[in-house]
Structure 1
Amino acid sequence: MSTRVVSSWAWSRWALVCVMSGLLGTAHAALFEDDEARKAILDLRQRVEQSNAAIKGLSEENARLRRSLLDFQGQIESLKTELSQGRGAQEQLARDVSEVQLRQKDMVNGVDERLRRFEPLKVSVDGVEFMAEPAEKRDYEAAMDTFRKGDFVAAQAALNSFFHRYSKGGYAPSALFWLGNAQYANKDYKESMVNFQQMLKSSPTHPRAPEAMLAVSNIQIELKDLKAARKTMEELVKTYPASETAATARDRLARLR
């Protein structure tokens, strides 16, 4: 074989080797790239799975938090309801207590009012102050209202009944005095004189006593007993010299002489 032929064959072999080496290198490179891609895909898949797992975990956690929030909200609403019921019960209790207090106050006021109906009162009649039962005061004023109206028959009955019911009370002297006046107006002179004289005997210092004594002298004049009338007026001037009634008695004594 000639040198040229050998060289040509060698060159051809070398060229084939180079081509094969390139192909092998390309194939190796391709294989390497496939492995890297597969590894990257696996890594990405793993990351995706991890992310999915994390997302799933977050979803479950969110669900638990949502349930917890709902439970908590339910508890809050329950507490609000209990508070509202408690507040309503408290308000009702306050209303009940207020109502009981008002009833108690009304009861106390009612008792006080009933007690006041029987509690003695300070009264002033004909310049004299004394304590009197409410019923006594009421009955006396009713009898005197009748007297002031000029119904002396009814007034005589009312005052006579009053005196017998309350003969020991502070109204007794005044009741006798006005009873005598009602009887005098009815021309019941003897009974009138008895009541005037009884008043003078039981209450000689009463402010109406001088008038009662003058009324006795008037009755004596009506009965035509001028001697007795003069004696009564003299006694009046002597016993009550500073009274206005005594001045009236002096004038009458001067006319009787």
Structure 2
Amino acid sequence: MQYPAAIRNRLKGRFPLFLFLLTAAQAHAGLFSDDVARQKIDDQEQEIQQLKAKLEDIDTRLKRIESAQIEMASKFQDQGSESAAMRGKMEEMQHSIDDTQKRQKDFYLDLDTRLRKLEPQPSGAATPMNSPAPTVVSPVATTAPAAEAPAPSAEQGDYDASFGKFKIGDYNGAISGFSDYLKKYPNGSLSASAQYWIGNAYFAMRDFEKAIAAQRRVISKFPDSTKAPDALINIASSEQELGRMKAAKSTLKSVIEKYPSSEAAAKAKRRLEELKQGKR
């Protein structure tokens, strides 16, 4: 089909404009597609960065958890070692306590055997040869303690029953028994001994304040008794256990001053020398 020349000329004049518009439209379409693609890429990169950050956070938390688990495992191991060491120490302490108690009982048995030889016996009664216990008491100071009169059999029986409790380690029973004895026989021939053993029972239970108070009663009520010097020795021992070293030294010196000829005085001299050397 042939167009008229005028129309062809008009079309021919506008054809470059048409081509330009067509090319611009295509370029714009291409530009639009590239922007969308870039936006999507940017979005994906952001998502990737966010995921990386989350992964890093999770990794950090996992490392903390692992570190805490390792630390806990180490602590459990340390605690196990400490528990084993503590059990070992407890066993050693128990062995030491058992050994000390045995030596203490042996000491009291030997001591009582010697003291019984000094204590008066009821007339007609056999002298016990194997009785246990106290702190050796011998003739005293400048003025020897007055001899105790023989105890009636009932009085001696009450005393022996209480002393028997002391020997087997029933210290509360011994204190109760000797206290009852003192109520029944406040001026009995064995009253000083009963009061003395009350103090020793408290000392054996490590109630040093009551031990001191009980032994001071021996000194105040029975100053001329053969038990008085040993009561002072027991007071010094209690003061030493309480950490009152100055008071203990003073008490030991008073034993030497008041009862210079007694066995207690000799013991006090040895104890003072040990304290000077830093021994307990």
Please report the TM-score for the alignment, with normalisation by the length of structure 1: 0.49
Please report the TM-score for the alignment, with normalisation by the length of structure 2: 0.45
- Higher relative contact order structure (alpha carbons within 8 Å, sequence separation ≥ 6): 2
Higher Cα Rg: structure 1 or 2?
Answer: 1
Of Structure 1 and Structure 2, which has the larger fraction of its residues in helix? 1
